[in-house]
């Protein structure tokens, strides 16, 4: 279907306004492909007509549907394993030395999509049971997509999804079969919660020791990225740890965080002691 410049500007502008994410030229194919089902379901004749309808003041539900269709939910268990292991094997134990008295950790997975990242953290910590015995660990997963958060809360994944990055031992010990899918066992849900949250809004309440914000900010404009980094500083402990995606960095993006001199790929608040 032909995408007129007016429709592209209107729909990509709506998407950025509501999520902060830009549809760069290399991603604009999603406007046509991802919105086909929306237009068929509503008998809308084309992208120009869809753009006109979402502009109506009362089209709140349609706008939300369009944004949901354009979101990228790509994720999988233990994504970027090397970086993940750095966090779990080095970053968290380093924090544990500073939290020994309280024996409490709060971890925020921002932009968690369908929940594989928070569950991966929970599984990794459960595997190191001796180290973390007696600790209270809260893992909060958030995403702008209500559909993704609904799936994360359900904890049900297809055979294809559990085959992407999940070790067999985790599948056996952390999941129960459910038809042709797999459901996270109740014991693995302990301490894990999910909520709909937009990174353009104030962070969830409370202070976090660790924030993972991976493969989300790369879709933001430089100005919005700086704003989000500033918001993250209000949510992270002074000696906390920030983890970004493998292709992301704070260098040249913000003065709010600096690289961790000892742990490659992790970042600290600029005010860290």
Give the Cβ contact number of residue 91 at 10 Å: 22
Given a cut of 80, is residue 28 above it in pLDDT? Answer: no
Distance of alpha carbon 140 from its chain centroid, rounded? 10
Distance of alpha carbon 104 from its chain centroid, rounded? 22
Q: What local confidence, expressed as pLDDT, does residue 209 receive?
A: 97
Phi, psi at residue 240, to the nearest 5°? -75, 180
Average pLDDT value for the chain = 93
Confidence (pTM): 0.94
> Which band of pLDDT confidence, cut at 50, 70 and 90, is reported for residue 248?
very high
Sign of the dihedral through C-alpha 37, 40, 43, 47 = positive
> Which band of pLDDT confidence, cut at 50, 70 and 90, is reported for residue 264?
confident
Q: What local confidence, expressed as pLDDT, does residue 49 receive?
A: 93
Q: What local confidence, expressed as pLDDT, does residue 23 receive?
A: 86
Find which of 28-37, 42-51, 80-89, 172-181 is predicted with most confidence, using mean pLDDT: 172-181
Given a cut of 60, is residue 2 above it in pLDDT? Answer: no
Nearest to 238 by CA among 212, 267, 207, 269: 269
Given a cut of 80, is residue 26 above it in pLDDT? Answer: no
Q: What local confidence, expressed as pLDDT, does residue 35 receive?
A: 92
Bridge partners, 235 (sequence order): none
Whole-number Å distance between alpha carbons of 192 and 138? 6
């Amino acid at each position: 279907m032909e995408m007129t410049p007016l429709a592209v500007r209107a729909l990509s502008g709506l998407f950025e306004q509501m999520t902060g994410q830009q549809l760069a030229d290399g991603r604009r194919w999603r406007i046509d492909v991802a919105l086909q089902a929306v237009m068929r379901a509503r008998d809308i004749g084309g992208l120009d007509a869809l753009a006109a309808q979402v502009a109506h003041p009362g089209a709140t539900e349609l706008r939300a549907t369009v944004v949901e269709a354009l979101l990228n939910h790509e994720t999988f268990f233990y994504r970027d394993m090397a970086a993940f292991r750095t966090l779990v094997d080095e970053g968290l134990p380093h924090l544990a030395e500073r939290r020994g008295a309280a024996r409490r950790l709060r971890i925020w997975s921002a932009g968690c999509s369908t929940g594989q990242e928070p569950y991966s953290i929970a599984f990794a910590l459960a595997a190191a049971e001796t180290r973390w015995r007696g600790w209270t660990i809260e893992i909060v997963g958030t995403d702008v997509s209500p559909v993704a958060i609904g799936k994360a809360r359900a904890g049900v994944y297809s055979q294809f999804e559990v085959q992407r990055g999940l070790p067999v031992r985790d599948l056996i010990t952390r999941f129960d079969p459910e038809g042709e899918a797999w459901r996270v066992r109740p014991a693995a849900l302990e301490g894990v919660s999910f909520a709909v949250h937009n990174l353009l809004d104030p962070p969830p309440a409370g202070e976090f020791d660790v924030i993972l914000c991976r493969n989300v900010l790369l879709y933001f404009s430089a100005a919005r990225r700086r704003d989000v980094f500033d918001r993250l500083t209000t949510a992270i402990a002074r000696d906390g740890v920030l983890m970004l995606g493998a292709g992301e960095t704070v260098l040249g993006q913000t003065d709010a965080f600096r690289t961790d001199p000892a742990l490659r790929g992790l970042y600290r608040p600029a005010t860290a002691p």
